[in-house]
Amino acid sequence: MILQNAEIVTRDGVKLADVTVENGRIAKISSCPRATKRDELVLDCRGLTVFPGLIDMHVHLREPGFERKEDIASGSRAAVKGGFTQICCMPNTDPVIDNKVVASYITARAKEVGLCKIHPIGAITKGQRGEELAAIGGMKAAGVVALSEDGKSVQNSKLMANAMLYASDFGLKCLCHCEDPALSDGASVNEGYYSTLTGLKGSLRAAEDVMIARELLLAESLDLPVHICHVSTYSGVQLIREAKARGVKVTAETCPHYFILTDEAIKNFDTNTKVNPPLRAEKDRLAVIEGLKDGTIDCIVTDHAPHHADDKNVEYALAAFGISGLETSFALSYTALVKTGLLTPAQLAEKMSGAPAKILGLEGGELKVGAPADLTVVDLNEKWTVEPNKFVSKGKNSPFGGREVYGKVKYTVVDGTIKYEEQTA
Ligand code: DOR
Ligand code: ZN
Ligand code: ZN
């Protein structure tokens, strides 16, 4: 296959080139056009931009157990439609991914579906109950790429320290959802002006920050790496920035909703704005953007959290937390960060592909000869409107409905095979 006349996004910036794919890998990147060979598949990429295949290291696929919300097949379709060639799925399923059997099931089912690459993330504790460590060695052998208790934090600090030690013995990192439940205590939104206005129960930034601080201090004391999930507070960004400055091996992620929306979005009680951690204030949104710019926040993930309409069509306090994000993440990020001049295309590629690959030790994340031909081909000039009811994900729960964005995924190529092609009809 050859992708002709493409603007390709590399570490050094954007340049016009042809990309030759052979045996599932990038065989050649050339600036001078060459004659195409017989039987060669030619993708005319004039006016299109090729990014290294996007990688989302924080996705909820809901299978096994919650297939009404999403399953591996529907989640994979949403991923490739969103331009993702690799995704990592969180273990808060039923049963929980806390042993090699469930982990192997995920990898086997992902191969059967055969769209994007799917890497399971194992739970830190058995059943995510926070009592005893899960069977980490077996899960590693079955393909988990990290450990996480996502949805909550491991409350017992000694157990968390042990988790970091055991994880490191198996070459794994802990991805930490940071929340002190005594402080968040059943709240639905951020504590502030809009919680007062709506009468909805609010949660302090400290509910997130105290746990970010604990994970940073544990990692520092043990001299081990740690990754902070979905950073939403200005104070959390500052804690991570300071930890990085003194050499703590910390990496961090955020999501499009934290750098685009604020808690003002909750004022109409739209339960699609209910997410954990909650949408914060403008001060936080700006700090998250600053963190992305100065490298404090390494990557952008979706925290794709699809829910059934029945879980959202209830009063705000009772609604499930989460946003269905795979099909909008690239365009939202491109529009908010690159169109505005805050990041370059190469920096966006790093946040959405290079950094996640490095953090988890995955192959890919860069357009270079010899790398797997995982490619995301987009039209950056195409403007479109987000229509959640047209999502292929089962989760239509998005607060971005009606929003105009730039950047349309045209093809998603995984190991040299086209796994998604935009249907124009
Ligand atoms: O909003 C969220 N949804 N935050 C989480 O931590 C969990 C996730 C889910 O599983 O629905
Ligand atoms: Zn989480
Ligand atoms: Zn999550």
The pLDDT tens digits of the residues spanning 192-236 come to 999 999 999 999 999 999 999 999 999 999 999 999 999 999 999
Q: Is residue 280 part of a domain?
A: yes
Give the model confidence (pLDDT) of 134-155 as tens digits: 999 999 999 999 999 999 999 9
**Separation of CA 22 and ligand 2 centre (Å):** 39
pLDDT, residue 302, reads 98
Average pLDDT, the chain: 98
Q: Say what the pLDDT of residue 95 is.
A: 98
Which listed ligand is nearest to 90 at the C-alpha?
3
d(CA 128, CA 356): 24
Query: Where does the pLDDT of residue 15 fall: very low under 50, low under 70, confident under 90, or very high at 90 and above?
Result: very high
Predicted confidence band at 294 (pLDDT cuts at 50, 70, 90)? very high
Structural domain includes residue 26: no
Domain-embedded: residue 318: yes
The confidence score (pLDDT) of residue 35 equals 80
Identify whether 94 is a catalytic site residue.
Answer: no
Neighbours of ion ligand 3 (CB under 5 A): 150, 303
Give 16 Cα–ligand 2 centroid separation in angstroms: 39
**Residue of 97, 150, 253 to mutate, ligand 1, most atoms within 8 A of C-beta:** 150
Give domain status of residue 117, yes or no. yes
Task: Please tell me the residue having the least CA distance from ligand 1 atom 6.
Answer: 151
**Domains: count for the chain:** 1
Q: How confident is the model at residue 34 (pLDDT cuts 50, 70, 90)?
A: confident
CATH number at residue 94: 3.20.20.140
Confidence of residue 38 (pLDDT cuts 50, 70, 90): confident
Integer angstrom CA distances of residue 361 from 103, 173, 374, 384, 385: 18, 10, 16, 34, 35
- Quickly state the pLDDT bin for 267 (edges 50, 70, 90): very high
306 CA → ligand 1 middle, Å: 9
Q: Structural domain of residue 133, as residue ranges?
A: 57-367+383-403
The pTM of this model reads: 0.98
Closest residue by Cα to atom 5, ligand 1, is 151
Tell me the CB-side half-sphere exposure of residue 260, using CA atoms within 13 A. Answer: 25
Question: What pLDDT, in 10s, does the model give residues 248-266?
Answer: 999 999 999 999 999 999 9
